[in-house]
Amino acid sequence: MAIGKRIRFFRNRKGMTQKQLGEILGFLGKTSDVRMAQYESEARTPKHDLVNEMAHIFDVSPHAITVPEIDSYIGLMHTLFALEDMYGLKIGEIDGEICLRLDKSDYSTYTSMFDMFHAWQEQAAKLEQGEITKEEYDQWRYKYPELDTSKHWAKVPSQAVSDMLMEELEKVEKEEKKTSKQKNRKA
Q: Is residue 35 part of a domain?
A: yes
**Any domain includes 12:** yes
Phi, psi of 79 (to 5 degrees): -65, -45
In a domain, 132, yes or no: no
Q: Is residue 160 part of a domain?
A: no
Helices and strands (H and E) in the chain: how many: 9, 2
20 falls within a domain:
yes
Give the pLDDT of the chain (187 residues) as one tens digit per residue. Answer: 689 988 998 999 999 999 999 999 999 888 899 999 999 999 999 999 999 999 999 998 888 888 777 778 988 898 899 888 888 899 999 999 999 999 888 888 888 888 888 999 999 999 999 999 998 998 888 788 888 877 654 444 455 555 666 677 678 778 877 877 777 777 6
- Residue 26 forms part of a structural domain: yes
Q: How many distinct structural domains can be found in the chain?
A: 1
Is 96 part of a structural domain of the chain?
Answer: no
Question: Cα separation of 158 and 165, whole Å?
Answer: 10
In a domain, 38, yes or no: yes
CATH number at residue 28: 1.10.260.40
Query: Which residue segment(s) compose the domain that 65 sits in?
Result: 1-87
Is the CA virtual torsion 63, 114, 164, 175 positive or negative? negative
